[in-house]
Structure 1
Amino acid sequence: MLESLNPYLWAVKLRNWVYDSGLIAQCKFPIPVISVGNLSVGGSGKSSLVRYIANMLSEKLKVCVISRGYKRSTKGTLLVSEWGNLRASWQEAGDEPYMLAKLLPRVSLVVDEVRCRGADFALRELKPELIILDDGFQHRKIHRDLDLLLLRKRDFSDRVLPFGRLREPLEGMERADAFVLSYRELEDFDWRHAHKPTFKMRRSGWRILRSTDHRQVENYHELSFLAFCGLGDNEQFFQTLRRLGIRLEDTLGFPDHYHYRGFKLQRDKLYITTLKDLVKLEPAENLFYLDFEVEVEGLKEFLEGFIINRLQRVGSSAGRATDS
């Protein structure tokens, strides 16, 4: 009953209907556009999947990531990195785009709250061969050739904001072209769409690194840490540390995108945090962070096939235009 009276739900339904009906025109671009998004508010592994895809595809293509730049200190179009060279601070770019820019040495990254404007800038100034939209599923103004949707186990039983964590009802998932089940090492679940590709993402290769020199710590099982983070889902980070057998003296959870102004480390304690939080802190001898690899069996082949087909269609269309 409460769901039927939810004004946010009906606003989302109306907005999706307007786009589905073609009443609002989308901006389209001459290169492939891949969107990575989810249904819920935070904590689905979008940044990890964007990192995985961008690293993989940038081996053969010039890739540009377009992000909104949530909670950044700037507005408008901002070039965060140009083929791996940083051009902005984390405050100017936002914590997640800045983190991705540092992790992607062959990729450019642009932030803009107006995605079409950001993509226009990227095509004009950077001339990429592929665009990846970070957190793009609900940003429907920009046309995408492929919609990848991350799903967590809890999404299937959750409710739409403000009664739950879903940005839109489950029926919206039908817009996706393929699905990626995330955090399966924490929530082992199985689901498959009847007609569309479904992939399973797992995090592996866990390692603890020093903030000062980014060297791996081998004897971490002998140490005890104070864990802290400011994520969409802080508990999944603490739960991961415990599953890895890391001893935790205490945990500190902060709001998502926390700024850490005035946050000080006690000299006699060891601290561990995430990459997203680390970029907002000064390196220290007693500050460490957790990193990992991502495995998505079959996704590499699927994306390569999609890109080849997309480029072939563009080439065929260009050839017909020339002939005419």
Structure 2
Amino acid sequence: MNVLRKILFPFAILYGIITSIRNFLFDIGVLKSTSFNIPVIAVGNLSVGGTGKSPQIEYLIRLLQDDYRVATLSRGYKRESEGYILADANASAKTIGDEPFQYFQKFKKAQVAVDTSRKNGIEQLLSQKIKPQLILLDDAYQHRKVKAGFYILLTSYGDLYADDFMLPTGNLRESRSGAARANVVIVTKCPETLSQKEQNQIQSRLKLTNEQELFFTAIAYDDQVYSGKEQLRVTDIAGKEKLLLAGIAKPQPFFAYLQAANDVTMVYPDHHHFTEKDITDIKNKAENKIIITTEKDYVRLKGSILEEQLYYLPIKSAFLNREGDFMKKIKNYVGESTRNS
């Protein structure tokens, strides 16, 4: 923790009080939450960024899309548009945001919508002639104007909410007590070798209730990188000089998976909007090398002058154990909620 963050500790206490009062008012019904008569699953975190929400949303889409009409609803962070938008052939990373556009391109069965008001977004989705049968709310754990039927809370292995502080001293958006709203807590970005003993120790630190279940996942990197025209095996390009580019929170594991001794790396802020100057700088630095970036960055850079040498590395969320229990829990909730509706 740097000195400035320590100096701002009184503001962290004030921020914690404000968010706790807000949550209390929602809990007792003074501030109103709206429920909907279809399954709604909210995925989010207590901290700011970097917990792996996108891979988890994609996991849920894969799990459910063959049995239900699935819709995702995000706010569309850093998009150049306003209001409710349902993705169609005219959609781009600029109009709906990079992560929703990524979902839209990958999952043709799913509807992808954005709206800063999740309540309005759900109402718009349900006003369609062909309505979704379930909705996945992306990064909506603090969006309490909608009451989801099921909450999945993510916390990163290297930055557990139990060890964190409120903003601006730490990275928490709300008090650790907010974890009590979760049906399931997932510790993400774990080492694949995480032992059962270590898992038990983390469970003890998180202090979950008897009703909550804890799961552990790792980031599974693809063994190939992809462009608009071809795919290359990671092992085949391991020794080739390349430029690695990331505009995501906590990009170190991405670099570690791909980087060789002579590779060049470039780092930009999370959800960075690449300007023409940025793209020219990347082109000049890459020279004739291939450029490998994250899938989220690729959707923002596709179509630029980099396209001929640009590749992306997909990732997935991989459960360390008990994946069947997680799948059963989600499918039971969706199935029961669908029957009740």
Summarize the Cα distance change of 1:39–1:248 in structure 2 as closer, same or farther, 3 Å threshold.
farther
Structure 1, gaps ≥5 residues long? 315-324
Which residue is equivalent to 2:255? 238
Could you tell me which of 180, 187, 202 is aligned with 2:218?
202
Q: Once structures 1 and 2 are overlaid, which stretch shifts more, 145-154 or 290-299?
A: 290-299
Q: In structure 2, which of residues 166, 176, 181 is the aligned counterpart of residue 175 of structure 1?
A: 181
Contact 2:192/2:218, CA 8 A, preserved across alignment: no
Where does 1:181-260 land on structure 2 (aligned, <5 Å)? 181-185=187-191, 188=194, 190=199, 191-192=202-203, 193-195=208-210, 196-204=212-220, 206-217=222-233, 219-242=236-259, 246-247=260-261, 249-260=263-274
- Distance across 1 between alignment mates of 2:34 and 2:163: 34
Residue type at the aligned position of 1:98: F
Displacement of 1:187: 9.2
Residue range with higher mean Cα deviation, 178-187 or 268-277: 178-187
Give the 5 Å matches for 1:13-24.
13-24=20-31
Query: C-alpha offsets along residues 215-248 of structure 1, whole Å, 9 cap, x if unaligned?
Result: 2335122222221111122334223435xxx556
User: Does residue 61 of structure 1 match 2:68?
Assistant: yes
Distance verdict in 2 for CA 1:74–1:137, change over 3 Å: same
Say yes or no: does 1:306 pair with 2:322. Answer: no
Q: Cα deviation per residue 1:161-215 (whole Å; 9 max; x = unaligned)? A: 1111121121111111111110013794523335211112223252332323252
How far apart, CA to CA, are the structure 1 residues paired with 2:94 and 2:309? Answer: 24
Runs of 4+ in 1 over 6 A off after TM superposition: none
Q: Which runs of 5+ in 2 are unaligned?
A: 1-5
Aligned-partner Cα distance in 2 for 1:168–1:228: 32
TM normalised by structure 2 equals 0.84
The CA distance in 1 between the partners of 2:221 and 2:270, in whole Å, is 25
| Secondary structure in 2 matching 1:50 | helix
Q: Is the 8 A contact 2:76 2:115 kept in 1?
A: yes
Summarize the Cα distance change of 1:212–1:30 in structure 2 as closer, same or farther, 3 Å threshold.
same
Percent same amino acid among aligned pairs?
30
Following TM superposition, by how much is the alpha carbon of 1:46 offset from its aligned partner in structure 2, in angstroms? 0.2
Residue 285 of structure 1 is matched in structure 2 by 308
Paired amino acid for 2:309: N
How far apart in 1 are the matches of 2:155 and 2:100? 21
Alignment partners' CA distance in 2, 1:142 and 1:187? 38
2:163 maps to 1:165: no
* Structure 1 residues 285 and 310, CA gap change in structure 2 (3 angstroms): same
Q: Which structure has more helix as a fraction of its residues?
A: 2
Aligned to 2:238, what secondary structure does the other structure show? helix
Distance (Å, rounded) in 2 between the aligned partners of 1:93 and 1:51: 17
CA distance in 2, matches of 1:37, 1:268: 40
Give me the whole-angstrom Cα distance separating, in 2, the residues matched to 1:43 and 1:286.
27
User: Aligned-pair RMSD on alpha carbons?
Assistant: 2.1
**Which of 37, 41, 56 is residue 34 of structure 1 equivalent to?**
41
Alignment pair present for 1:114 and 2:117: yes
SS in 2 for 1:280: helix
